[in-house]
Amino acid sequence: GNRALHIAAQNGHMDLLKWLLEKKADVNVQNGKGQTALHMSIEYDFYFQSEALIAGGANQKLKNNDGHEAISGIDGGKVGNEAWDNPVVILKAAEDDKRQIEIAFLALEKADPASLDKAALAQA
């Protein structure tokens, strides 16, 4: 089953996730389906939680039971415009936090305008 780290990552609970990492929770623990907390945070577009997990040592290449690497989410579909570090995904994940908003805008500034999903950007 899921551990506390999975639940925090899946639901975007940054404070709990950081606390668990500080308490040395196993960042690469897998549930019964082979999913790690990183699989979940990537899948549900929680960029800043994913960033914290990676900084905490999460193995981006660890595969779940379906053969999908953590960096591409639960079903392997988080690539291209859906990738965890796509500027639009980062903007959507930014909360009312100055640092997060600045990171999102910096990512947008660096992005190739032709590669951005304009409809998704308008919804962000």
Q: Which residues, at least 6 apart from 10, have a Cβ–Cβ distance to it below 8 Å?
A: 2, 37, 40, 41, 43, 44
Below-50 pLDDT ranges, the chain: none
**CB atoms < 10 A from the CB of 14, how many?**
17
Say if residues 18 and 42 touch (Cβ distance below 8 Å): no
Q: Which CATH superfamily is domain 1-82 in?
A: Ankyrin repeat-containing domain (1.25.40.20)
pLDDT in tens, 62-78: 999 999 999 999 999 99
Determine what percent of the chain is predicted with pLDDT higher than 70. Answer: 94
Global pTM?
0.83
Query: Domains of the chain: which residue ranges?
Result: 1-82, 86-124
